[in-house]
Structure 1
């Protein structure tokens, strides 16, 4: 629960800064990545934020589910990979800021440095 709260707190300034553009986007936390990636992929799709081959977050675009119902766009943060890459709460917060900034930038088709001038490449 503390992780989910940290994700919400980290996302809030981004959501507020781009309120109109992000008003139709949901935010979710999943324990682990649940996606089919080919084992031979050396570069992941742009909508996936990763540490090497390990996805840390993903943008799911709005679409239609298997029942024909419309779905909203969603940012998904993967808890376990993030926790494994951060030893302290400060590191976790910094990593989440990086992930969420990259997800927002991808969704808005912006350079992450346009969203956060201090974005580390």
Structure 2
């Protein structure tokens, strides 16, 4: 039996794979990760609420990174059936930031605005 964290990781990977297929070409090099919670040093624009994910642009030392935060997403999901939808929304938002496009360009069903 898989753990809750393993099932969550699978949801994130499935969403990223599906969105790359919809995009129709490979994404640029980036790291995709899942962490339980965001660090305790929020970005200046995150003072109001806990982030569900973050995009970190590449720099001279690292590839671009997309990090999805499991516990805040699980907490925000109103019901277990909402979890996959919320993961899709957050992954679409962060990958769209990576690509410089609208989340709807990756997920036509995106409804996060």
Query: Normalising by structure 2, what TM-score?
Result: 0.79
Q: 1:92 — aligned with what?
A: 83
CA RMSD of aligned residues (A): 2.0
- 1:106 aligns to 2:97 (yes or no): yes
Give 5+ residue unaligned stretches, structure 2: 1-5
Contact 2:19 2:107 in 1 (8 A): no
Name the one with the larger strand percent: 1
- 1:9 aligns to 2:14 (yes or no): yes
Query: Normalising by structure 1, what TM-score?
Result: 0.74
Matches within 5 A, 1:1-121: 1-18=6-23, 19-20=25-26, 22-34=27-39, 36-37=41-42, 43-44=45-46, 53-64=49-60, 70-120=61-111, 121=113
Name the one with the larger helix percent: 2
SS of 2:84's partner is helix
The 4+ residue runs of structure 1 with deviation greater than 4 A are none
Specify which structure has the bigger relative contact order, considering alpha-carbon pairs within 8 angstroms and separated by 6 or more residues.
2
Give 5+ residue unaligned stretches, structure 1: 45-51, 65-69
